[in-house]
Amino acid sequence: MLTICRFPDDLTFLRRIAPPIEEAEFGSQALYNFAEQLAETMDAFGGLVGLSATQVKETNRQPIDGSAVVYQEPAWRIFSMMVTDNEATTVCNPEILWLPPEKDWVMGPEGCASFASVQEHMKAPAMMKVRARTVSGEDYEATLHGVQARCFWHERRHLDGLLLSDSMKPLQKKMFLKKVAKAYKEMGR
Ligand SMILES: [Zn+2]
């Protein structure tokens, strides 16, 4: 199981910008293993709807073609999300093809495993058209609605080092981070 990074202790990890998965990496054992670990970790934490590679510390990513690529703080451009109640889907190099203008976004509860899963009301797109690759390299295209759209939006931002708290107004952020600190304290850590 992977260790989930926490705000603010693991900010260096959480702020990573995940480099794209390269063509030669699709279908590799290393990528399969990592995808499996992501899904397992989500499962073990029960109730997580998404988890991105920048939220964990152990990615074990190495250049596989002997190239000079050096991953300083390695992360894969990949995340797992629940598309149905009990099935996790892992997507690589995710892209947003279309999303509604911000005035049409909707408010809804949003939490993050890196913030003790404390929920906050946030605006997010209610619908999105997305494209990605599967772990084996196949094309994945989907139109997502509701929780799935919010989840894709949230996880995709993680891969660029952006966090839930970044979209909050100063006072909201202050209150939210207080609740997060309290939640971690209650968990005994
Ligand atoms: Zn998150």
CATH number of 11-186: 3.90.45.10
Residue 155 or 46, more confident: 155
Global confidence as pTM: 0.93
pLDDT in tens, 57-80: 887 787 666 666 665 567 999 999
Whole-number Å distance, alpha carbon 162 to ligand 1 midpoint, is 9
Radius of gyration of the chain (CA): 16
Share of the chain above pLDDT 70, in %: 93
Whole-number Å distance, alpha carbon 5 to ligand 1 midpoint, is 10
Whole-number Å distance, alpha carbon 161 to ligand 1 midpoint, is 10
pLDDT at 131 (0 to 100)? 98
Task: Inform me whether the pLDDT recorded for 166 exceeds 70.
Answer: yes
What mean pLDDT value characterizes the chain? Answer: 92
The pLDDT confidence band at residue 107, using thresholds 50, 70 and 90, is very high
Whole-number Å distance, alpha carbon 67 to ligand 1 midpoint, is 32
Whole-number Å distance, alpha carbon 66 to ligand 1 midpoint, is 33
Whole-number Å distance, alpha carbon 114 to ligand 1 midpoint, is 6
CA distance 181 to 142: 36
Residues with CB under 5 A from ligand 1 (ion): 112
CA distance 19 to 98: 22
Whole-number Å distance, alpha carbon 111 to ligand 1 midpoint, is 7
